[in-house]
Amino acid sequence: MRTRQILCPTDFSETASHALTYAVDMAKLYGVDLRVVHVVSEPYGAHNYGITVESNEELEQHLHAYANGKLAEVVRQAQALMPEQLSVKSEVRSGAVLGQLLLDSEQNDVGMIVIASHGHTGLSHLLNPSVAEELANKAKCPVMVVK
C-alpha cells in the first residue's frame, strides 16, 4: 500500500468531491500518486447528461467528451493540493462501474481505493445497490468509504 498509487473513482457529485479530499490526504501521507477514474456506463442510463443524439455511437462520444472535460477539471483541483513530486492521473472507462473499477485497480497495481458512498438506505438502497459496498467486499486492496 505505502508504495502504490491510490484510486479515487468519481461520478462528479459533491460526495465524490468530498472523497477526493480524503484521497489527496492519503496520497500525501503515503507519498504516492493519485489515480482518478470515471466510468461511463450504459448510454441510456441516468447519466445521459441531457444530450440529444441520433445514434448510440454519437451518444457515447458525447458522454466521453463530457466526462473527459469534467475529469480534467477534477485533476486540476487535485493536483493543486498535491506536492509537486506527486502526480494525479486520470482515465475515463466504459462499462459496468463495479467491474471497471475492480479491473482498473488490478491493472494499475492500486494500493488503496477511496470511494464516496451516497448513503442510500431502505428502498433506495435496494433499487440502487451500493458500488462502494460491493467494491469494499470484492477489491483485493484496502477500501476507504467516505460519506
Cβ atoms within 10 Å of 101's Cβ, excluding its own: 26
Within-domain flag for 91: yes
Within-domain flag for 33: yes
Within-domain flag for 119: yes
- Structure-derived torsion over alpha carbons of residues 38, 34, 81, 47, reported in degrees to the nearest 10: 10
Boundaries of domain holding 111: 6-146
Within-domain flag for 63: yes
Its pTM stands at: 0.85
Within-domain flag for 53: yes
Q: For residue 53, report the phi and psi dihedrals to the nearest 5 degrees.
A: -140, 170
Q: For 100-140, how does the pLDDT look when each residue is reduced to its tens digit (9 = 90+)?
A: 999 999 999 999 999 998 755 544 434 455 899 899 999 99
Q: For 12-35, how does the pLDDT look when each residue is reduced to its tens digit (9 = 90+)?
A: 999 999 999 999 999 999 999 999
pLDDT number for residue 91: 97
Within-domain flag for 1: no
The tally of domains found in the chain comes to 1
pLDDT number for residue 23: 98
Q: For 57-78, how does the pLDDT look when each residue is reduced to its tens digit (9 = 90+)?
A: 787 888 899 999 999 999 999 9
Within-domain flag for 23: yes
- Domain of 130, CATH number, reads 3.40.50.620
